[in-house]
Structure 1
């Protein structure tokens, strides 16, 4: 791997549960030598209890959580990586309302690939039964949103190299 360097804006690694947001996000932050945070760690206890019980969160459940994430992004304008599902355009808009220069890395994959990944994560609070609702909720990045979608069915280093190459943040 080449030398990492600070980025000009924070990055949100987004995607459905099981896409590898936390793993890729932590590796990307390490590569770029910037702070990393996992949005799952910022959920209030009520949200975790609801998901653990197999119930999808509502937009109302997510609003205060997204504000906390948005404030973290704003505090890391000089560079930082956050893993966050950010499945809907409205959620990404809420994050941008705090930090307009945020860039998204969408870890995209088929339900079959993500399902296999989820099955290998025993004990995670998001049960595999909610995977279908995640894909129904997912709104891919629009052309006017800063970011890229990358196929998750490859190694972590390959995902990071492709992201850096496509965003021009660092030469491979």
Structure 2
């Protein structure tokens, strides 16, 4: 299960995890596509695979989702989250991550559907780009500090 952390939630809301995404991981239904997207990002960052599968629509859900210990999710930026219609929603986001071969950004326009009294992630159109930040640039995690003293190279 998700660990308790006193710092801000990894989704970028600046709220503590316990008051942000953790309740969704523990069974509270996300009220909007954006809330579901943020909680799914946090689940990726904290490796809460059961939650990811449980919030994935059955029409597109994979049979399993193996752990990915080499990926460190560092920051989420919501680019657009227009108000949802009665049963459809979308969220455009960028998620910054680091792997042994360097920094990357995943950009996706995700689709959500409202069924059975809750929102479900359906699918998205992802694109991944490799980034080459310099040591003296601001860290991609959003801390505002230089990369070399924050998440490092």
Q: What TM-score comes out, normalization by structure 2 length? A: 0.27
Higher strand share: 2
Higher helix share: 1
